[in-house]
Amino acid sequence: MSPTEPAFLFLFLPAFLALFALGGKLGGGRAALAVLVVASLFISGTHGCWFFVLAAASTAANYALLLAILKLEGRARGIMLAAGVAINIGLLALVKYTIWLQWIPAVGLVSLALSNLVPVSLSFLTFQRSVGLLDGVDQAKRVRSGLF
């Protein structure tokens, strides 16, 4: 589902905004975040099963990395941040940009298959999750570990 489709604009978006506001009002920040995560995974699911699995696995991995970052201190925290950002950008590069390597016989079919799986939103998700990890490192902006 693309943000420019009528179904997104007139059905999904109003329903999401209402549920997000209701979740925040009745259940607080954690409920609002839960609505946000479920809505994000729903949108991922509209792009196909493989993208849903990729988005769900990435969400779980980044949540685990965030929890580790919050528990670690000093240099270990920075190393975990660097690993998380490298994984996020590496996944983006693997899935989105291997099409440039299609001239290599062993990579050609894989690159075409991967490029067909990925909607534009993968770039947004990648950078959003990387910023979330960075916020976890930042002492001034303490991140709650309820949901990512």
Q: What residue segments make up the domains of the chain, in order of their start?
A: 1-46, 48-141
Does the pLDDT at position 63 exceed 50?
Answer: yes
Amino acid letter, residue 111: S
For residues 78-106, give the mean pLDDT.
82
pLDDT band (50, 70, 90) for residue 111: low
More confident residue, 46 or 82: 82
**Mean of per-residue pLDDT scores for the chain:** 81
For residue 13, the Cα-to-chain-centroid distance in whole angstroms is 18
User: Could you tell me the CA-to-CA distances from 27 to 12, 17, 112, 132 in Å, in that order?
Assistant: 21, 15, 44, 22
Record the pTM: 0.72
Does the pLDDT at position 92 exceed 50?
Answer: yes
pLDDT band (50, 70, 90) for residue 89: very high
For residues 102-130, give the mean pLDDT.
69
For residue 41, the Cα-to-chain-centroid distance in whole angstroms is 9
